[in-house]
């Protein structure tokens, strides 16, 4: 049976839930298709020990509803995964969203019917849908990157993946655990696993830059005070380039830009910086995002700061990063480097001693065999494009979105629409601010802009909207020019920001770095001028 609706929304994470609410309010018959059995998106699957957001809870939350922001009670400054999952469930119930969400409904194909100007959407379980519009709220970090290591399936112990961590408790007590991956996920997980496991071996390919951060419960009355001031907090957040005006992993980067240059700093000044501020002091220089030599000097200083924390000189040296700081997403931690001072934690530097294979009893590197009971993979995501390229999306002339992005690169217009794919809106596509900002703030702007756009199309009897190729090309040139002078495009930078973490993926920086307010201004200008750069049919 095929159901007919106005809009299909793919995904019931942060964006899909708000899209459903907004579009329903505007009077569109909207159906959400969610592959999981509950709401939450990436915050449902990534339930590994230590999972936590690195933006403050009062900013990493919906701003569109005064009732929700007053009623929900956050317990900590930066929320842990269980609290975010509970929050999204609360929102789904509070707004009565579940009645329009089909769970266990994984979208496998979407074909645009040019004559009828509608999308035909098929799910793996069978039910199909026809809708004038599709809003892909399928997430920027929702498709795990499965490592391709020889023998991975042969392991006789327990294999765990951070991106699909089991719901039931995992007992690591007295077990020999190996962790592969030292990005944001690994850096959060490693100190927690070290406290629980009998022995932990960290298999590190690229050492991380990570800044220590104090996360704490709210003091009595503190959250109430903040809530009484929510209007102002949201206003400041809205005006802030990263969509988070309070201290966050992103705002720290912006603060660094305002610091004096490292290249002209004396040795005394450099040492004072790490005396006073440790690893943070090593990186707090204004020139390191634009000058690769300054960046390399900062990496050296960072290594010195790490060596002051990590007692074993060989381990400290192995923890010193070699890629430019800033070219990967910033990371904050709670006790990461201190973890390596434990007797029951070992570090394997895969640059010196690479993994050869997973064996039934552990991991074999070039130099030895590491016996393990549990292997945890924290190996990242096929970000930004991965969710949609795993669906067979066919636009005009049966053009495949996966083929287009795979050959041309991850192009879009405004990070929201792709030429050749009419009536498809993508929440935070490549070319949108998401990657370098508070995702929730960036996403809310997208949902609101899309809602207004659909209302405009309905009011003016349009059946289609499609990005024009020239507008798309100019947008990507503009987004690319913004980062051209920065270390973000340095050739040694392999990150989910540029697809460099996925073998064979077309490499291109996928964010928009002029900040959310500037991005919003441009989007609004385009809408007010009658959706310039789009063809309305």
Which is closer to ligand N01, CB of 422 or CB of 499? 499
| Cβ-contact 391, 110 below 8 angstroms | yes
Segment lying near ligand N01 (by CB under 6 A), choices 52-60, 100-108, 450-458, 526-534: 52-60
Please name every residue paired with 204 in a beta bridge, in sequence order, or none if there are none: 349
Enter the tokens of residue 281.
């002091």
Interaction between residue 378 and ligand N01 (CB under 6 A): yes
Shortest reach from residue 181's CB to ligand N01, in Å: 3
Q: List the one residue from 43, 74, 161, 381 that touches ligand N01 (CB under 6 A).
A: 381
Please say which residue, 180 or 526, places its beta carbon nearer to ligand N01. 180
182 near ligand N01 (CB under 6 A): yes
Helix-helix angle 439-459:14-25, to 10 degrees = 30
Sole binder of ligand N01 in the list 180, 327, 416, 454 (CB under 6 A): 180
End-to-end Cα separation, the chain, in angstroms: 29
Which residue number places its CB atom closest to ligand N01?
183
Nearer to ligand N01, 270 or 334 (CB): 334
Binds ligand N01 (CB under 6 A): choice among 205, 227, 238, 490 = 205
Helix spans in 411-533 (H) = 439-459, 469-483, 516-528
Q: Report if residue 296 touches ligand N01, rule: CB under 6 A.
A: no
Compose the 494-513 pattern: x for residues touching ligand N01 by CB under 6 A, - for all others. x-x----x------------
Please tell me whether residue 184 binds ligand N01 under the rule CB under 6 A: yes
Of 183, 241, 243, 321, the one binding ligand N01 by CB under 6 A: 183
Min. distance of Cβ 254 from ligand N01 in angstroms? Answer: 17
Residue number, 432 or 472, with CB nearest to ligand N01: 432
Among 281, 321, 380, 511, the residue binding ligand N01 under the rule CB under 6 A is: 380
Binding window for ligand N01 (CB under 6 A); candidates: 182-190, 304-312, 472-480, 485-493: 182-190
Residue 351 gets which letter from DSSP? T
- Binding span for ligand N01 by CB under 6 A among 28-36, 178-186, 214-222, 231-239: 178-186
Give the residues across from 123 on adjacent strands. 107
Instruction: Decide: 354 and 361 in contact? Cβ < 8 Å.
Output: no
Ramachandran area for residue 221 (φ above 0: left; ψ -120 to 50: alpha; else beta): left
Strands 332-333 and 211-212: parallel
Select from 40, 186, 362, 515 the one that contacts ligand N01 (CB under 6 A): 186
Asked whether position 519 contacts ligand N01 by CB under 6 A, the answer is no
Pairing of strands 2-10, 362-365: unpaired
Q: How far is the CB of 279 from ligand N01 (least distance, A)?
A: 17
Nearest to ligand N01 of 203, 411 (CB atom) = 203
Q: Which is nearer to ligand N01, 7 or 253 (CB)?
A: 253
Q: Do residues 316 and 307 touch, judged by C-beta distance below 8 A? A: yes
- Please report whether residue 456 would count as binding ligand N01 according to CB under 6 A: no
CA separation, residue 102 to residues 3, 107, 128, 167, 300 (Å) = 12, 11, 11, 21, 52
Among 41, 49, 139, 181, binds ligand N01 (CB under 6 A): 181
* Nearer to ligand N01 among residue 187 and residue 424 (C-beta): 187
Residues in the interface with ligand N01 (CB under 6 A) total: 26
Question: Rule CB under 6 A: which of 116-145 touch ligand N01?
Answer: 141
Q: In whole angstroms, what is the distance from residue 472 CA to residue 480 CA?
A: 12
Residue 53 is a binding residue for ligand N01 (CB under 6 A): yes
Decide if residue 61 touches ligand N01 (CB under 6 A). Answer: no
Rounded Cα distance, 20 and 258, in Å: 40
Report strand pairing: 392-394 vs 107-113: parallel
Q: What whole-number distance in Å separates Cα of residue 524 and Cα of residue 514?
A: 15
Alpha-carbon distance 419 to 412, whole Å? 7
Q: Does 147 bind ligand N01 (CB under 6 A)?
A: yes
Considering only residues 343 to 362 of the shown chain, the ones binding ligand N01 according to CB under 6 A are 350, 355
Query: Of these, 188, 270, 385, 486, which contacts ligand N01 (CB under 6 A)?
Result: 188
Instruction: Give the long-range contacts of residues 190-194, CB within 8 A, separation 24 or more.
Output: 190/336, 190/339, 191/50, 191/333, 191/334, 191/335, 191/336, 191/338, 191/339, 192/49, 192/50, 193/49, 193/50, 193/376, 194/339, 194/342, 194/344, 194/345
At closest approach, how far in Å is the CB of 405 from ligand N01? 19
Q: Which two tokens stand for residue 178?
A: 């190996």
Q: Which of 3, 5, 149, 399 lies at the binding interface for ligand N01 (CB under 6 A)? A: 149
- Residue corresponding to tokens 């709220």: 137
Say what the alpha-carbon torsion angle 376, 508, 11, 109 is, to the nearest 10 degrees. Answer: -110
Q: How far is the CB of 206 from ligand N01 (least distance, A)?
A: 3
Give residues in contact with ligand N01 (CB under 6 A).
52-54, 141, 147, 149, 180-186, 188, 205-206, 329, 350, 355, 378-381, 494, 496, 501
């Amino acid at each position: 049976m095929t159901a007919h609706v106005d809009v299909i929304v793919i995904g019931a994470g942060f964006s899909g839930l708000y899209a459903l609410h907004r579009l329903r309010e505007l009077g569109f018959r909207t159906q959400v298709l969610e592959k999981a059995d509950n709401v939450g998106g990436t915050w449902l699957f990534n339930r590994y020990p230590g999972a936590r957001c690195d933006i403050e809870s009062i900013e990493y939350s919906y701003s569109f509803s005064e009732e929700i922001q007053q009623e929900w009670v956050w317990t900590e400054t930066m929320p842990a995964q269980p609290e975010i999952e509970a929050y999204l469930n609360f929102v789904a119930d509070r707004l009565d969203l579940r009645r329009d969400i089909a769970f266990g409904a994984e979208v496998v194909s979407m074909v645009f019917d040019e004559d009828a100007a509608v999308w035909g959407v098929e799910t793996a379980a069978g039910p199909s849908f026809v809708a004038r519009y599709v809003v892909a709220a399928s997430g920027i970090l929702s498709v795990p990157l499965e490592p391709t290591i020889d023998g991975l399936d042969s392991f006789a112990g327990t294999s765990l993946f951070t991106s699909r961590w089991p719901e039931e408790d995992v007992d690591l007590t007295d077990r020999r655990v190996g962790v592969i991956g030292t990005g944001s996920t690994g850096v959060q997980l490693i100190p927690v696993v070290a406290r629980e496991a009998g022995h932990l071996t960290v298999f590190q390919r690229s050492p991380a830059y990570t800044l220590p951060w104090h996360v704490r419960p709210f003091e009595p009355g503190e959250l109430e005070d903040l809530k009484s001031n929510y209007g102002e907090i949201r206003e400041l957040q809205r005006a802030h380039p990263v969509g988070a005006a309070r201290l966050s992993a992103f705002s720290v980067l912006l603060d660094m830009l305002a610091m004096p240059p490292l290249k002209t700093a004396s040795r005394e000044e450099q040492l004072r910086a790490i005396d006073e501020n440790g690893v943070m002091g090593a990186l707090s220089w204004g020139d390191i995002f634009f000058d690769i030599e300054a960046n390399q000097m900062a990496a050296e200083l960072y290594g010195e700061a790490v060596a002051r924390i990590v007692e074993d000189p060989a381990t400290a040296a192995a923890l010193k990063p070699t890629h430019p700081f800033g070219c990967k997403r910033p990371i904050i931690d709670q006790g990461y480097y201190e973890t390596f001072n434990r007797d029951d934690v070992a570090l394997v530097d895969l640059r010196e001693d690479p993994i050869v294979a997973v064996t039934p009893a552990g991991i074999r590197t070039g130099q030895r065999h590491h016996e393990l009971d549990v292997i945890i993979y924290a190996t990242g995501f096929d970000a930004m494009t991965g969710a949609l390229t795993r669906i067979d999306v066919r636009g005009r002339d049966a053009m495949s979105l996966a083929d287009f992005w795979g050959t041309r690169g991850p192009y879009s217009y405004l990070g929201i629409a792709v030429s050749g794919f009419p009536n498809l809106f993508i929440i935070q596509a490549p070319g949108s601010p998401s990657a370098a900002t508070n995702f929730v703030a960036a996403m809310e702007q997208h949902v609101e802009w899309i809602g207004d756009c659909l209302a405009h199309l309905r009011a003016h009897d349009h059946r289609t909207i499609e990005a024009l190729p020239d507008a798309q090309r100019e947008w990507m040139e503009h987004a690319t020019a913004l980062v051209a002078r920065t270390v973000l495009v340095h050739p040694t930078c392999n990150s989910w920001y540029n697809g460099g973490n996925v073998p064979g993926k077309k490499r291109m920086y996928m964010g928009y770095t002029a900040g959310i307010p500037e991005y919003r201004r441009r989007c609004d200008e385009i809408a007010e001028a009658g959706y310039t750069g789009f063809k309305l049919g």
